[in-house]
Structure 1
Amino acid sequence: MAQTTSRTGEVMEAIRARIASRSLSRGDRLPSIRALAATLKVSPSTVVEAYDRLAAEGVVLSRPGSGFYVSAEVVTPAVSDLGTRADRAIDPLWVSRQSLDAAAAALKPGCGWLPPDWMPDAILRRAMRGLARADDALLADYGPSRGLPELRRLLARRFATEGLDIGPDQVLLTASGTQAIDLICRTLLRPGDAVLVDDPCYFNFQALLRAHKARIVSAPYTPNGPDVSSFARVVAEARPRLYITNSAIHNPTGATMSAQTAHRLLTVASAHGLVIVEDDIFAEFEPEPSPRLAAFDGLVNVIRIGSFSKTLSASIRCGYIAARPDWIEAMVDLQVATHFGGASPVAARVVFDSLMDSGYRRHVEALRRRLSGARREAAARLADLGVRTWVTPRGGFYLWGRLPDGRDGSDLARLALDEDVILAPGNVFSAAQSAPDFMRFNVGQMRDPRVFTVLKGALARR
């Protein structure tokens, strides 16, 4: 099989080379299947597959009864057109773009996911093999408007163990955690509405809110959660429609909200009609569950969202929303109108089967232990460089560190990028631009000693 694929690729490259050298031009007829097979000494079926793939790419056109024709010239992109510009402004999208578009050899201590070899590949492969036995409808049809029932029931059972007693109809599956926030914003926001975020907060909250033309306001975050006095003042003055936060293992700080802070926030929110969006994406990294706003509130003014990208797979896109029934109904309609469904039934089935796999719980427990050691090691090595960790997280893979001598994180990120190391400077997380000398570090992406070598070199430069 591998040999056939390789030979097919060679035929495709031979055709592309002829087009690039202008031996074949737009509108020219390609050699017949038998003629090219004889010339390249491959089987006719290999040429057929190569032509079909080139047609799928739009490089050639198939004219039944006539043959294959060149549809366009192959354009080799200039180097400047490839990837993400290194000199683009360091804004809330900078880290995401650099991390997603990085070369394979780049080191990514600033990214927001774990390395592939930390993820449960054996569990995922078992779940994917199970798709071969699935009904045809799962593989070919649209799924239910709320998403795979089995996964929604499983999530509802999990919520019940945390004191949040809801039925599966109050759970909506989405294409991702980000799409969950997008649906909420589309449902509850109007352009110009204020939205409250933590300072610092996950940078993509800001990017998404700007796309919705929301007015972003912020309140300082402390090791126990938002500063409640500042939070109450901003709510009273700005009258935000939403507040978006992580209550368990806050991104980027790694802090955990206390029960006292959670109750005080809910009191303020209730008094001002503020809707809270609680992103629970890091829940499984906690050794013991911390207070949940959704459980305290019972989904009256709190919406809970999450996904499986951190512990299972970022490639298999599936998220969820848990909310009160009227909001769920509105978001089901919106998701049908804009996506004609949310989470792929195939992706949802892989997630469900993986979560039900007997090895998944052991995977999460092993991941917690591995991350605990990685956090200790990374914190010690950062301390040797003068980087002070803001809090000691209870779990997760982030450390929020203050750089020595007031060094600017954005300057360091640019210097490190020249060495193919992607860092996450503090101000991309801060709506108030109050964290210039901070950096978020992903301990799972810091196993290569070169990360610390490059960081040390950047800190030494003036």
Structure 2
Amino acid sequence: MPTGTHPPLLRGASQPLADQLAERYAQRIRERLLLPGARLPSVRECARQHGVSPHTVVAAYDQLQAAGLLEARRQRGFFVRESRPATSARSPRPAGAVPRQAPMDATALIRGMFEADAARSPGLGTLPADWLDPALLQSALRRLGDGDGLQVSYGDPSGDARLRDALSHRLADLGIHASPAQILTTNGATHALDLLIRTQLQPGDAVLVDDPGWAIMFARLTQAGMRLLPVPRGANGPDLDVLAALAAQHAPRAYLTVSVLHNPTGHSLNLAGAHKLLRLADELDFHIVEDDSYGFLAPEHLPRLAALDGLRRVTYVSGFSKVLTPAWRVGYLAAAPEKLTALTDIKLLDGLTSSPVLERAVALCMEQGRLRRHAQRLRERLAQGRQRVAALAARQGFAWAAPPDGLFGWLDVGVDSERLAQPLLDAGWLTAPGALFSATRAPGSLMRVNMATSQDPAFWRALRTAVDELRGRAAAA
């Protein structure tokens, strides 16, 4: 019998089992529940999941390969093709609901997060809604409605002047001296990073990136024609010896990195590592883009590269979605004055300006220290959450690859975490396997765990069960 929550194939129907199985996967591909590069279950695993023979699975996979939807990679398995025909196959959806597919790339992970129940999403990339402060946002909007500087025109292309002034003070608290004229607001931190890619880099340029790192940035750089140079990132931060060797060999234009509360490891650079990295940037002539998206969840005393460098080689990027609300796409960058004209021009071409209403509302949240106090409460609650999650993980025999900090922990589950994703999703848990954060999509035993959404002991029991079942099947093979 099939296992998990997969709806059964219809035995005795006019459509052969292999055709039904092929159509089931073809439908998932068409609906983009399986995206290019996603790995399908092995023949034996797929046969077990659907209660059919391996011969049936082979026949189904053959059909998908013939249709141009699937490719076989030697000694790795079956994967959705990177480019698929515009038209695809054939028959109507088989009876029964299509089950959700575990995230196999960044887009699928984000899509799953939009649909997910935060209480059952240990792989979530943000704080759950009930940790945020809607009253803070409502108060800011009411003040705007009462006439506190409500902007009804396009606004300044550089961003709301009141927000840029507040940001200049915020950066000064971090040791980063940037006047309001050196700050450009954007539609979230991701938009800021995109503007930098488009103004500072050219197709074919080599770019250093953290590995593990942010999968969305890997995808953006690749789509823009950049060559990725992965720098291993572990419990002690980026491997600067590897970075130096890569930079000496490939002459990269830039290094995109997270210095504080790195996603996914939670690691922060120490002062010695930050100084060494900046020396390498000078010696080997590359620029640094410092993504501080989780900076509000970190102590202000942690070193920022932009503070040590004075915004000479470093461009600083951050935003507010992690502490205010993901629905308000307000981000910003701080850069050397000579970079601002090109960045502002591209922002204008993208969408004229960013939202002056939301930016003014964020400025109001920052005034009188209200956002600072909210962030402090979040840090205290996360510290308690990390203690609870660490105890739950230890109780089930799991260890961390790096000490958890901030929102994330980098957990070692001892088996291929990508192979755990689907059975855990079938049990109701959305996870973030380590391959999602690898520049080369290398499989491994690590997964990102959200400290705010993984405090249910039921998840840790489900994880322990899934790991033991996977090991048991491997031993019996």
Deviation at 1:187, TM superposition (A): 0.3
Query: Which is worse superposed, 300-309 or 259-268?
Result: 259-268
Q: Which residue of 1 aligns with 2:112?
A: 98
Which of 156, 163, 169 matches 2:168?
156
> What is the CA–CA distance in structure 2 between the aligned matches of 1:314 and 1:79, rounded to whole Å?
34
Deviation at 1:384, TM superposition (A): 2.1
Which of 344, 347, 350 matches 2:361?
350
Structure 2 length as normaliser, TM-score? Answer: 0.75
Deviation at 1:97, TM superposition (A): 2.0
Which of 410, 417, 421 matches 1:409?
417
Which of 440, 443, 448 matches 2:448?
440
Please tell me whether the aligned partners of residues 219 and 230 of structure 1 are also in contact (alpha carbons under 8 angstroms): yes
Which of 248, 255, 258 matches 1:236?
248
Which of 359, 369, 375 matches 2:386?
375
Deviation at 1:134, TM superposition (A): 2.8
Structure 1 length as normaliser, TM-score? Answer: 0.77
Please tell me whether the aligned partners of residues 118 and 453 of structure 2 are also in contact (alpha carbons under 8 angstroms): no
Please tell me whether the aligned partners of residues 242 and 275 of structure 1 are also in contact (alpha carbons under 8 angstroms): yes
Question: Which amino acid in the other structure matches residue 117 of structure 1?
Answer: D
Please tell me whether the aligned partners of residues 103 and 109 of structure 2 are also in contact (alpha carbons under 8 angstroms): no
Q: Deviation above 6 Å: which 4+ runs of structure 1?
A: none
Question: Which amino acid in the other structure matches residue 362 of structure 1?
Answer: R
Q: Which residue of 2 aligns with 1:31?
A: none
Q: Which residue of 2 aligns with 1:424?
A: 432
Q: Does 1:200 align with 2:208?
A: no
Please tell me whether the aligned partners of residues 101 and 425 of structure 2 are also in contact (alpha carbons under 8 angstroms): no
Question: Which amino acid in the other structure matches residue 412 of structure 2?
Answer: R
Which residues of 2 match residues 169-248 of structure 1 at below 5 A?
A: 169-248=181-260
Deviation at 1:101, TM superposition (A): 3.1
Deviation at 1:189, TM superposition (A): 1.4
Question: Which amino acid in the other structure matches residue 136 of structure 2?
Answer: I
Which residues of 2 match residues 56-455 of structure 1 at below 5 A?
A: 86-87=100-101, 90-102=104-116, 104=117, 107-134=120-147, 138=151, 140-341=152-353, 343-393=354-404, 395-404=405-414, 407-434=415-442, 436-455=444-463
Describe the SS at the equivalent of 1:444.
Answer: coil
- The unaligned stretches of length 5 or more in structure 1 are 1-77
Kindly tell me: are residues 353 and 79 of structure 1, through their superposed partners in 2, closer, same or farther at Cα, counting changes over 3 Å?
farther
Provide, for residues 50-88 of structure 1, a one-character-per-residue CA deviation record: whole Å limited to 9, x for no partner: xxxxxxxxxxxxxxxxxxxxxxxxxxxx989xx998447
Provide, for residues 330-388 of structure 1, a one-character-per-residue CA deviation record: whole Å limited to 9, x for no partner: 100111012111x3111101111112255433322221111111011111211222221
Please tell me whether the aligned partners of residues 174 and 300 of structure 2 are also in contact (alpha carbons under 8 angstroms): no
Q: Which residue of 2 aligns with 1:33?
A: none
Question: Which amino acid in the other structure matches residue 221 of structure 2?
Answer: L
Q: Which residue of 2 aligns with 1:37?
A: none
Describe the SS at the equivalent of 2:124.
Answer: coil
> What is the CA–CA distance in structure 2 between the aligned matches of 1:385 and 1:172, rounded to whole Å?
47
Question: Which amino acid in the other structure matches residue 466 of structure 2?
Answer: A
Q: Which residue of 2 aligns with 1:12?
A: none
> What is the CA–CA distance in structure 2 between the aligned matches of 1:434 and 1:455, rounded to whole Å?
21
Describe the SS at the equivalent of 1:312.
Answer: coil
Deviation at 1:447, TM superposition (A): 3.3
Please tell me whether the aligned partners of residues 418 and 443 of structure 2 are also in contact (alpha carbons under 8 angstroms): no
Q: Which residue of 1 aligns with 2:5?
A: none
> What is the CA–CA distance in structure 2 between the aligned matches of 1:277 and 1:356, rounded to whole Å?
27
Deviation at 1:434, TM superposition (A): 4.8
> What is the CA–CA distance in structure 2 between the aligned matches of 1:160 and 1:106, rounded to whole Å?
36
> What is the CA–CA distance in structure 1 between the aligned matches of 2:239 and 2:418, rounded to whole Å?
26
Deviation at 1:163, TM superposition (A): 2.6
Question: Which amino acid in the other structure matches residue 160 of structure 1?
Answer: A
Kindly tell me: are residues 293 and 136 of structure 1, through their superposed partners in 2, closer, same or farther at Cα, counting changes over 3 Å?
closer
Please tell me whether the aligned partners of residues 252 and 400 of structure 1 are also in contact (alpha carbons under 8 angstroms): yes
Please tell me whether the aligned partners of residues 195 and 215 of structure 1 are also in contact (alpha carbons under 8 angstroms): yes
> What is the CA–CA distance in structure 2 between the aligned matches of 1:85 and 1:106, rounded to whole Å?
20
Describe the SS at the equivalent of 1:391.
Answer: strand
- Aligned-CA RMSD value: 2.2
Describe the SS at the equivalent of 2:232.
Answer: strand
Q: Which residue of 2 aligns with 1:49?
A: none
> What is the CA–CA distance in structure 2 between the aligned matches of 1:303 and 1:95, rounded to whole Å?
28
Query: Which is worse superposed, 295-304 or 89-98?
Result: 89-98
Please tell me whether the aligned partners of residues 416 and 444 of structure 2 are also in contact (alpha carbons under 8 angstroms): yes
Kindly tell me: are residues 132 and 323 of structure 1, through their superposed partners in 2, closer, same or farther at Cα, counting changes over 3 Å?
same
Deviation at 1:251, TM superposition (A): 1.0
Give the number of the structure whose alpha-carbon radius of gyration is greater.
1
Kindly tell me: are residues 271 and 417 of structure 1, through their superposed partners in 2, closer, same or farther at Cα, counting changes over 3 Å?
same
Please tell me whether the aligned partners of residues 399 and 442 of structure 1 are also in contact (alpha carbons under 8 angstroms): yes
Kindly tell me: are residues 338 and 79 of structure 1, through their superposed partners in 2, closer, same or farther at Cα, counting changes over 3 Å?
farther
Deviation at 1:171, TM superposition (A): 0.1
Deviation at 1:228, TM superposition (A): 1.1
- The unaligned stretches of length 5 or more in structure 2 are 1-91, 471-477
Describe the SS at the equivalent of 1:153.
Answer: helix
Describe the SS at the equivalent of 1:355.
Answer: helix
Kindly tell me: are residues 84 and 249 of structure 1, through their superposed partners in 2, closer, same or farther at Cα, counting changes over 3 Å?
farther
Describe the SS at the equivalent of 1:93.
Answer: helix
Question: Which amino acid in the other structure matches residue 397 of structure 1?
Answer: L
Please tell me whether the aligned partners of residues 150 and 357 of structure 2 are also in contact (alpha carbons under 8 angstroms): no
Describe the SS at the equivalent of 2:272.
Answer: helix
Question: Which amino acid in the other structure matches residue 232 of structure 1?
Answer: A
> What is the CA–CA distance in structure 2 between the aligned matches of 1:334 and 1:128, rounded to whole Å?
29
Deviation at 1:110, TM superposition (A): 0.5
Please tell me whether the aligned partners of residues 106 and 421 of structure 1 are also in contact (alpha carbons under 8 angstroms): no
Please tell me whether the aligned partners of residues 103 and 421 of structure 2 are also in contact (alpha carbons under 8 angstroms): no
Please tell me whether the aligned partners of residues 84 and 98 of structure 1 are also in contact (alpha carbons under 8 angstroms): no
Count the aligned residue pairs.
377
Question: Which amino acid in the other structure matches residue 430 of structure 2?
Answer: I
Deviation at 1:195, TM superposition (A): 1.3
> What is the CA–CA distance in structure 2 between the aligned matches of 1:273 and 1:106, rounded to whole Å?
46
Deviation at 1:427, TM superposition (A): 1.3
> What is the CA–CA distance in structure 1 between the aligned matches of 2:468 and 2:232, rounded to whole Å?
30
Kindly tell me: are residues 252 and 364 of structure 1, through their superposed partners in 2, closer, same or farther at Cα, counting changes over 3 Å?
same
> What is the CA–CA distance in structure 1 between the aligned matches of 2:139 and 2:468, rounded to whole Å?
48
Which residues of 2 match residues 13-92 of structure 1 at below 5 A?
A: 86-87=100-101, 90-92=104-106
